[in-house]
Every structure is written in C-alpha cells, then in structure tokens.
Amino acid sequence: MTRILVVDDEAQILRALDINLRAHGYQVHLASTGEEGLASAAAAAPDLVLLDLGLPGIDGVDVIHGLRGWSSVPIIVLSAREGDASKVAALDAGADDYVTKPFSISELLARVRASLRRVQPAHEEPTVATEHFTIDFVAHRVFVDGEPVHLTPTEWAIVEHLARHAGRLVTQRQLLQSVWGPQYEHETN
C-alpha cells in the first residue's frame, strides 16, 4: 500500500486529507510540525509527502531541505502562500509540485497519482554505515571510527551528493550543479 505523509498544522486539513486519502486506498501518516514530519519521514519511509509551508517550528522549506538531505521522495507543497517567491523557494529547495490552498481534492489526488507515476521511490535509508564511517543524512553528520567529523556546509553537500550516488559516475558538472546550484555549468577560476 502506498504511504503518504501529510505535514500540516491545520487540524481540519489533516482530518480532511486523512479521510480522503484513506478512502482512495492510501496509508496515511500525519504530522503537525516540521520536526514531527522529518521524524515520521525517517521512521515510516513514505512514498510521497504532502507538506504545508507555514508550520510552527521548522518552516516547510526547511523540511524540504531536510528531506532532500537523504531522500528523493516526491514532495507536493500545499500552501496558502500564493506569491511567486514562495513557490520558487519551495520548488528550488526540492519540492516536486505546488498546490495553492484552497484546493479541490480531485485535483490534489490527480497530482498525487501523477507524482507517484513519475517516480518509483527506492526506500532510502537515513544513514549509510560502513566499517569505518557513518553518514547520517538526517542530522547532516559524518562519523569516522565513531568520532564526529566537522564539515563545512559545502563539504557536507559534496559528501552527501557522492554518498547518494554511490557506485555511479558523478561528473564535475553534476557535482557543481548539485552543490553550488544550476547556474554552475562550468568550473570558474
């Protein structure tokens, strides 16, 4: 059964989505804060996340960044924020789609189905552990022989990208764009 995590601080939205998604055959997990959402995503390994941006505690964009640190799960943002800046920020952070509240449940269900068709998410682990080192994608930490290693944000981004693409060729261009953004086509001196 397809698992959907809904992260929203409005009780009525959580209830409505819970009822409608379950009625359409989805297994639903609910969270009302960004922190709960990240914890639930790590524990339940959802197939899709429905995420509000205006959350108490960690903002929705920060939740997207947190999820993208270790997962490629499809994320559909549900937000009352209509401005282009909010949409662009969420999509640039790693969201796959953006739906403005209020929304029709039939349109949302169509977007859920479309997102699930595009991606067959591998159940990714929030950590990579080897004999000599451990990478914790949720906490953004690296341990070598049990000792924490201090990494700058750029160093972390490089380690994260390479670890998430283990066993595959990563080109210089891919690494530059992943770490420094899509505007980096080439290394500049």
Rounded CA gap, 8 and 120, in Å? 24
Rounded CA gap, 85 and 17, in Å? 26
pLDDT tens for 121-165 read 455 667 888 889 999 887 888 999 989 999 998 898 888 888 877
* Residue 187's pLDDT band (cuts 50, 70, 90): low
Rounded CA gap, 44 and 16, in Å? 21
For the question of whether the overall pTM of this predicted structure is more than 0.95, the answer is no
User: Which of residues 102 and 83 earns the better pLDDT score?
Assistant: 102
Partner residues linked to 143 by β-bridges: 134, 148
Concatenating the DSSP letter of every residue in the chain gives: --EEEEE-S-HHHHHHHHHHHHHTT-EEEEESSHHHHHHHHHHH--SEEEE-SS-SSS-HHHHHHHHHTT----EEEEES--SHHHHHHHHHHT-SEEEESS--HHHHHHHHHHHHHH-------SEEE-SSEEEETTTTEEEETTEEE---HHHHHHHHHHHHTTTS---HHHHHHHHH-TT--S---
pLDDT exceeds cutoff 70 at 120: no
How high is the pLDDT of residue 124? 60
How high is the pLDDT of residue 129? 85
